[in-house]
Amino acid sequence: MSLDLYLLRHGETEASQTGTYCGFSDPDLTPEGLAMAQAFADKYRHLPWQAVFASPLKRTVATAMPLCKAVGLNMQLRAGLKEMNFGDWEGQTPDYVQAHHNQDYVRWLTEPAWNPPTGGETGVQVASRASLVLAEIEDQFTVGNVLVVSHKTTIRLMLCNLLGIDSGRYRDRIYLPVASVTLIRFDRHGPMLVKHGDRSHLPEELDARPGT
């Protein structure tokens, strides 16, 4: 037996449709995003879940809720699982940021682990707070299935931490679509990537929707 850690990115929001930066800002899921959350619950409710951890933002709570209701588990909210704080870039498009915060934007694109969005967090800061949640899970659970519902940047940085990928390359090396599932299995050799960016639980019309 091993610990299977399922990392689920939240469902669709208006920001994921438009490509605007959305970190600590707190939009709701779109109707399609809610349907994505329900589709995940329908597909994965049969597993014997040990726990569900989630970022406390509305879009992650709404994504985790259908599974929690289906299997009768209380959601455990952790601030360490929040999305990166994009500071002055919140709610803005990449084109706007490039025009109005050009030097910070270029530095961030070059080395996002150490250079923050203007007034925001570095990737290292996000990875550090998320790693505390991972450590808590590993300490508490040695076998079984645990779900973590979080955000695009945060999950990618957690994967870098777990898989030995340079955190500065999280944007270049890891693709993570909306409502996708990544499975990490912890066994005697350490964390192993079993499944990544999977959206096979979504019906065709939802899987076909564009989004960042």
**CATH number of the domain that residue 151 is part of:** 3.40.50.1240
- Position 27 scores a pLDDT of 96
Hey, which residues does 182 pair with through a beta bridge?
7
Give yes or no for a contact between 117 and 104, defined as CB atoms under 8 angstroms apart: yes
- Domain annotation covers residue 39: yes
- Rounded to the nearest 5°, which phi and psi values hold at 158? -65, -40
| Spatial contact of 192 and 174, defined as CB atoms under 8 Å apart | no
Give domain status of residue 121, yes or no: yes
What does the pLDDT look like over 154-186, one tens digit per residue? 999 999 999 999 999 999 999 999 999 999 999
Please tell me the distance from the alpha carbon of residue 107 to that of residue 175, in angstroms, as a whole number: 21
In a domain, 169, yes or no: yes
- Structure tokens given for 45: 């409710």
Number of domains within the chain:
1
pLDDT, one tens digit per residue, over 100-126 is 999 999 999 999 999 999 999 999 999
| 212 in a structural domain | no
Q: What is the pTM of this model?
A: 0.97
In a domain, 168, yes or no: yes
Domain range for residue 64?
3-207
51 falls within a domain? yes
Rounded Cα distance between 95 and 112, Å, is: 17
Residue 198 lies in a domain: yes
